[in-house]
Every structure is written in structure tokens, then in C-alpha cells.
């Protein structure tokens, strides 16, 4: 039995799923082909992804390919309850997810997916696969392979591979170029701002915005914040990325300095305690702090709880903490992914490419069944390139092609000045 908040939300959920579908032309083409070819016939797919309109379209595509699909949430705050209802009532896809679920319900839902003995896993952050490896090892028998959607999950899987504990192959969807260059950069960039704005309704122009981490997500967010008139300061631990941030036109400082000036701090690092106890103490009064990294570990909220005098909710997704010296600071969305907690995650236009990679990776898993080792694999380059080509075509953009002479030149080494 699925576990959702309210099945009466299904009509609204279906409308929103259909709206997203209009903006997912590449996934639509794959769905149309899957309907005819049924490359996933009879395969059980267990997915642990953010339950959004875009994910719904991926689930519908996999089902069109012949798979039996069940979905649970990859974050307790990101579930869109109307989407969950529509998937169950309108599309016949079981969902186990209720927005705001506690940790116990979150893992109960993951276990419901595992009770169904998936043959392919689709993860966003590796909670499903790490549960299989730690507590539900009996599931390993039937699993062919899995996919991983996000940077944090891929890092966890690479650590498992390094420690020789990974038991089945994982396709790192995150590492496909048509995923990270667009979803991580433009998707996180826009949706993080969207989350902060929906939660606070503040003006970005003129604010000092501190961006912790200049990976693809940090780059995207810094770019969008700058575009809205913020004074952006980047903090980094990597010399190369710090240099890149500087040459992209941003100020670069250590967090101890940056936080003293910040009106808004956003963490996008994938690491823990990036904002720690001493930062809260150094921070400018009225600072807003949000996280857009996968897990809610980047802001040390436990430390903040220790040094607070009082706390209250001042708006949806905004907790005001008053410290012992009377200074007030604000945590947005409980330090969870602000773009999915307070907004709707990345727009469908970029999830189109991410989820095209997921769908084609599921097909690739079936084509290579029994041939892959328990390692982390990249999405095959031809799939990545096909997605870029289809996306451009869907956008009505034509590009040039090499002439025979140019191809020959690129393949040669004799011709010089």
C-alpha cells in the first residue's frame, strides 16, 4: 500500500505534472520510444528521488518502458504531496512519501521500496543503496545495477568502491556533462535563489551574499545572485576553484572574514559544519543562512541550538535564533536543501536532461546486464552527446557541421604555420 498525504490532491498534481512535461521534450521523446520498444519490460525499479513534477515524468517514462516502478522521497522536506497523490491515483505508480516526514518515516519508506526487491535502484544521495548495503543485504541477490543522481551520492559511492564494499554497479548520472553542467549550475543557481526569495521575500540587489563552495552548484548560484545585483563573496578550500571564482569577478575570502559582512550565506559544498559555532558568533546581526547542498549537515544547527537564548518561527521556512548577546540570525528551511524545501527544485527544462540520462542509463543497465562490475561508471559518452543534440533540436537551435577538409585537418598533425 502506498503512503501519501492526501489522495484528493491528485487532480492538482496531474495538472502540474503535465505542465512540467511540456518543458521536458527530450524525456518525452524517450518515453515515446520506450512505449514502442519496451526496453525495461518486467523490470522492478526502486527509486529514491525528490518527489516532484519532474520526477513524476521520469517515473511515467520508466513505466512506459515496461518497468514496474515504486518511488520514495530522497529528502523529508522536498515531497510535493499533490504529485505523490497523482502518481498513485492517476498513473498507478506506488509512492511512499509525505512532506515533513520524520526520520523514522523516511527510512520506513525506503524500506517499503526494498520490500519490493528492486532489480534496478535509482538514488539521489545514496540513502537507498547505503540502506541495502548496511541493513537490507538480502536485496543484493536480485539487483542488477543502480544509478545515482547527485554529487554527494557519487562521492559516497566512490568511497564505497575505494573501500571495496560496493556490491553492484552504479551509473553516476551526476557526472554526465548534460547533467552537471546544466542541472547543477543553472538549476541549482536559479532554484536556490527561488527558495530564498519564496521563504523570505527579500530583495537580493545590494545584499552581501556569501557563497560557500565554488563547484558547479556554487558557480551557478554565485552567477545568478550577481545577476540580481548582489555583492557576491565566495569561500573555498580549493586553490583552483578560488582562483576561478576570483577571475569570474567575485571576492574570495575565508569564511571567518566573509561571515562578518554577510546579509545572506548559502552553503553548497557537500561537506559538514561549513557554518560552525564560531561563525554564528562572528556573524553580522540579522544574517540569513541557507543550505543548498544535499544533506542538512553543512550548517551546524546543533551548535546553534547550544548557544541560542531563544528560537521562534517567524515565517514558513524561517527560524529566528536569538543568541545570548541578543543578536538575531535566521536559518532557512531547517538547513535542508532550500531549493526543494521552500521552492520546487530545479525547473523542468534542466531536469529534462538529467532525467533523460536516468532513463537512458536504466536502458543501458538492461543492455549490459551481467557485464558491469561493482564499480562507479560514467554515463556512456554517446548517450550524453545524444541528449545534448536532442535538447538543442527541441530548442530549435541549429549548429554547424565540420567539412571533410576540417575533419581531415583535425585528424592530422603535419600542417603547421
Minimum distance of ligand ADE from residue 150's CB (angstroms): 7
Minimum distance of ligand ADE from residue 151's CB (angstroms): 11
Do strands 264-267 and 208-212 pair parallel, antiparallel, or not at all (unpaired)? parallel
Minimum distance of ligand ADE from residue 93's CB (angstroms): 15
CA dihedral 9, 11, 17, 21 (to 10 degrees): 180
**Binding characters for ligand ADE, 310-349, by CB under 6 A (x = yes):** ------------------------------x----xx---
Q: Report d(CA 243, CA 249) in Å as an integer.
A: 10
Residues 119-148 that bind ligand ADE (CB under 6 A): none
Minimum distance of ligand ADE from residue 46's CB (angstroms): 16
With binding defined as CB under 6 A, does residue 207 bind ligand ADE?
A: no
Q: What is the DSSP string of 353-370?
A: HHHHHHHHHHHHHHHTTT
Instruction: Please say which residue, 179 or 207, places its beta carbon nearer to ligand ADE.
Output: 179
Contacts of 379 (CB under 8 A, 6+ apart): 171, 172, 173, 175, 176, 179, 357, 360, 361, 364
With binding defined as CB under 6 A, does residue 54 bind ligand ADE?
A: yes
**Which residue among 40, 45, 139, 351 contacts ligand ADE (CB under 6 A)?**
351
Q: Report d(CA 218, CA 200) in Å as an integer.
A: 20
Three-state SS for 327?
Answer: coil
**Which residue among 16, 50, 156, 198 contacts ligand ADE (CB under 6 A)?**
50
Q: Report d(CA 333, CA 342) in Å as an integer.
A: 7
**Which residue among 14, 17, 26, 55 contacts ligand ADE (CB under 6 A)?**
55
Residues 20-49 that bind ligand ADE (CB under 6 A): 49
Instruction: Please say which residue, 87 or 283, places its beta carbon nearer to ligand ADE.
Output: 87
Minimum distance of ligand ADE from residue 391's CB (angstroms): 17
* Residues near ligand ADE, by CB under 6 A: 49-50, 52, 54-55, 187, 340, 345-346, 351
Amino acid at each position: 500500500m502506498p503512503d501519501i498525504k492526501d489522495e484528493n490532491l491528485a487532480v492538482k498534481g496531474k495538472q502540474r505534472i503535465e505542465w512540467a512535461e511540456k518543458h521536458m521534450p527530450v524525456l518525452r521523446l524517450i518515453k515515446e520510444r520506450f512505449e514502442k520498444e519496451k526496453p525495461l519490460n518486467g523490470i522492478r525499479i526502486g527509486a529514491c528521488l525528490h518527489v516532484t513534477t519532474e520526477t513524476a515524468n521520469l517515473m511515467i517514462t520508466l513505466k512506459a518502458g515496461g518497468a514496474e516502478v515504486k518511488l520514495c522521497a530522497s529528502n523529508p522536506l522536498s515531497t510535493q504531496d499533490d504529485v505523490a497523490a497523482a502518481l498513485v491515483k492517476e498513473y498507478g505508480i506506488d509512492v511512499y512519501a509525505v512532506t515533513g516526514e520524520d526520520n523514522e518515516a523516511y527510512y520506513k519508506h525506503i524500506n517499503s521500496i526494498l520490500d519490493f526487491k528492486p532489480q534496478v535502484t535509482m538514488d539521489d544521495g545514496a540513502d537507498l543503496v547505503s540502506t541495502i548495503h548496511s541493513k537490507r543485504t538480502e536485496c543484493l541477490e536480485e539487483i542488477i545495477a543502480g544509478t545515482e543522481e547527485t554529487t554527494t551520492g557519487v562521492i559516497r559511492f566512490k568511497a564505497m568502491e575505494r573501500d571495496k564494499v560496493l556490491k553492484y554497479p552504479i551509473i553516476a548520472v551526476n557526472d554526465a556533462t548534460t547533467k552537471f553542467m546544466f542541472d547543477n549550475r543553472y538549476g541549482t543557481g536559479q532554484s536556490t535563489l527561488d527558495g530564498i526569495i519564496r521563504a523570505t521575500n527579500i530583495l537580493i540587489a545590494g545584499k552581501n551574499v556569501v557563497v560557500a563552495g565554488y563547484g558547479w552548484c556554487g558557480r551557478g548560484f554565485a552567477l545568478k545572485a550577481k545577476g540580481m545585483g548582489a555583492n557576491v563573496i565566495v569561500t573555498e578550500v580549493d586553490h583552483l576553484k578560488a582562483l576561478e571564482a576570483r577571475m569570474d569577478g567575485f571576492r574570495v575570502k575565508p569564511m571567518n572574514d566573509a561571515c562578518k559582512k554577510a546579509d545572506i550565506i548559502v552553503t553548497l559544498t557537500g561537506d559538514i559544519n561549513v557554518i560552525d559555532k564560531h561563525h554564528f558568533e562572528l556573524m553580522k546581526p540579522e544574517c540569513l543562512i541557507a543550505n543548498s547542498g544535499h544533506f542538512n549537515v553543512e550548517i551546524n544547527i546543533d551548535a546553534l541550538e547550544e548557544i541560542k537564548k531563544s528560537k521562534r518561527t517567524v515565517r514558513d521556512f524561517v527560524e529566528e535564533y536569538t543568541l545570548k548577546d541578543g543578536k538575531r540570525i535566521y536559518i532557512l528551511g531547517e538547513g535542508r536543501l532550500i531549493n526543494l524545501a521552500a521552492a520546487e527544485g530545479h525547473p523542468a527544462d534542466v531536469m529534462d536532461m538529467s532525467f533523460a540520462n536516468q532513463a537512458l542509463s536504466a536502458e543501458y543497465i538492461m543492455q549490459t546486464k551481467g557485464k558491469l562490475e561493482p564499480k562507479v561508471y560514467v554515463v556512456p559518452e554517446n548517450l550524453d552527446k545524444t541528449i545534448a543534440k536532442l535538447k538543442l533540436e527541441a530548442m530549435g537551435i541549429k549548429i554547424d557541421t565540420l567539412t571533410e577538409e576540417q575533419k581531415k585537418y583535425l585528424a592530422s598533425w603535419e600542417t603547421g604555420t
